[in-house]
C-alpha cells in the first residue's frame, strides 16, 4: 500500500510518501515540501499547493492520502491557512477517488514513538530509524509529512477487536489503539450515549 502523507501549511506544505508492505514494514519512497511565498495572494498560494499536491498524487498514485487533522492554535491566521491547505489535499485526493485519513499530531506521535507527548526531535529520530534514512528530512514539515504517512500505516486495523488481532500489534500500536478506544468512549459519554 502506498500512502502519501501531508503536513499542511500555507508557506510550507510537507509531502511524504511511504510504502507499507507485509507485516506493516515501511519503506521510504519520497519526501518534499511545496513552498509558497507570503508575498503572493492567498488564492494563488492555495492554487500552487493544490497543483503541487496533484503532481505528487499523479506521480506516486497513492492508495490513501493521510493528512494532519487541523487543530486550534493561538494564531488564527495560521490555523486558517493550515486548514485551507489541508482542504486542497482533500480535494486533490477526492477528485481522484483516493480515500483520505485524518490523524492528529498526538495520534502521529503515539504511532511513531509510543508516546503521544513525544517532542519533535523524538518523532524525527524515529522516522529516520523506521525508514532507515541516513539523515533527517528537512525542513521539519518534510519529516512531519513522512510521520503522517507512517502513522496511517501503523495504526491498528480494528482498534482492539479481539485478542488475536491485539497480539500482532507493536507496543506503540497497542497504546494507540487503547487511546483511540478511550477517545471513542469519551465522545459517547459527551453525547449522552
* Residue 58, all three cell numbers: 499523479
Half-sphere exposure of residue 54: CA atoms within 13 angstroms, side-chain side:
11
Distance CA(62)–CA(54), nearest Å, equals: 11
Q: Which of 39, 68, 119, 144 is catalytic?
A: 68
Q: 84: which 3 cell numbers?
A: 485551507
Note if 119 is an active site residue. no
User: Active site includes 7?
Assistant: yes
Coil, helix or strand at residue 135:
coil
Out of 107, 124, 141, 144, pick the active-site residue: 141
The DSSP line for 48-103 is HHHHHHHHHHHHH--SEEEEEPP---S-HHHHHHHHHHHHHHHHHHHHTT--EEEE
Annotated active-site residue 164? The verdict is: no
Is residue 27 within a helix (H) or strand (E), and if so which, with residue range? strand 26-35
Binding site as annotated, residues: 7, 68, 141
For residue 145, give the nearest of 70, 79, 68 by alpha carbon.
68
- Binding site per annotation, positions for Mg(2+): 7, 68, 141
Task: Give the span between the Cα atoms of 61 and 83, in whole angstroms.
Answer: 23
Which sequence positions are flagged as catalytic?
Answer: 7, 68, 141
Amino acid at each position: 500500500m502506498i500512502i502519501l502523507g501531508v503536513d499542511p501549511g500555507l508557506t510550507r506544505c510537507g509531502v511524504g510518501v511511504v510504502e507499507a508492505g507485509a507485516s506493516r514494514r515501511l519503506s521510504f519512497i519520497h519526501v518534499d515540501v511545496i513552498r509558497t511565498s507570503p508575498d503572493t495572494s492567498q488564492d494563488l498560494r492555495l492554487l500552487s499547493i493544490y497543483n503541487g499536491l496533484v503532481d505528487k498524487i499523479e506521480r506516486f498514485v497513492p492508495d490513501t492520502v493521510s493528512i494532519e487533522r487541523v487543530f486550534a492554535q493561538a494564531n488564527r491566521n495560521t490555523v486558517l491557512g493550515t486548514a485551507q491547505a489541508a482542504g486542497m489535499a482533500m480535494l486533490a485526493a477526492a477528485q481522484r477517488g483516493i480515500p483520505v485519513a485524518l490523524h492528529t499530531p498526538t495520534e502521529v506521535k503515539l504511532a511513531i514513538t509510543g508516546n503521544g507527548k513525544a517532542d519533535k526531535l523524538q518523532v524525527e529520530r524515529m522516522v529516520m530509524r523506521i525508514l532507515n534514512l541516513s539523515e533527517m528530512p528537512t525542513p521539519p514539515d518534510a519529516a512531519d509529512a513522512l510521520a503522517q504517512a507512517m502513522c496511517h500505516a501503523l495504526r491498528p486495523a480494528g482498534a482492539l477487536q479481539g485478542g488475536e488481532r491485539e497480539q500482532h500489534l507493536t507496543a506503540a500500536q497497542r497504546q494507540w489503539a487503547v487511546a483511540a478506544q478511550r477517545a471513542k468512549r469519551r465522545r459517547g459519554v459527551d453525547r449522552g450515549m
